[in-house]
Amino acid sequence: MRNQPGVLIVEDEPAIAELIAVNLRHNGFRPLWAMDSATAQRELDNVLPDVILLDWMLPGESGLSLAKRWRADARTKGVPIIMLTARGDEMDRVAGLDAGADDYIAKPFSTKELLARIRAVLRRRTPERAAGVVSVGALSLDPATYRVSFSEQLLKLGPTEFKLLHYLMNHPERVHSRSQLLDKVWGDHVFIEERTVDVHVKRLREALGAAGPMIETVRGAGYRLTAQPVPTVASSVQSHA
| pLDDT tens-digit readout, 159-214 | 889 989 999 998 888 999 988 888 778 765 446 677 888 989 999 999 999 999 99
CATH 1.10.10.10 maps onto the chain at: 134-225
Most confident range, picked from 62-66, 202-206, 236-240: 202-206
Residue 126 has pLDDT above 60, yes or no: no
Distance CA(60)–CA(37), nearest Å, equals 7
φ/ψ region of 127 (left if φ > 0, alpha if ψ in -120 to 50, else beta) reads beta
Residues 77, 64 contacting (CB under 8 angstroms): no
The ranges of the chain annotated as CATH 3.40.50.2300 are 6-123
Looking at domain 6-123, its CATH class is alpha beta
pLDDT band for position 127 (cuts 50, 70, 90):
very low
Average pLDDT of the chain to the nearest whole number: 83
The C-alpha atoms of residue 88 and residue 92 are separated, in whole angstroms, by 6
CA distances from 212 to 71, 216, 239 (A): 20, 9, 20
List all residues 6 or more positions away from 182 whose beta carbon is below 8 Å from its beta carbon.
Answer: 189, 192, 194, 196, 197
Give the start-end residues of each E strand in the chain. 6-10, 30-34, 51-55, 81-85, 103-106, 134-136, 139-142, 147-150, 153-155, 215-218, 222-225
Q: Pick the closest to residue 192 from 88, 103, 67 (CA basis).
A: 103
Share of the chain above pLDDT 90, in %: 35
Contacts of 198-205 spanning 24+ positions with Cβ under 8 A: 199/94, 199/97, 199/98, 200/97, 200/160, 200/161, 200/164, 201/164, 203/98, 203/158, 203/161, 204/157, 204/161, 204/164, 204/165
Between these two residues, 58 and 9, which has the higher pLDDT value? 9
Q: Is the pLDDT of residue 1 over 80?
A: no
CATH number (1.10.287.890, 3.30.110.70, 3.40.50.1370, 1.10.10.10) of 134-225 reads 1.10.10.10
- pLDDT at position 230 is 60
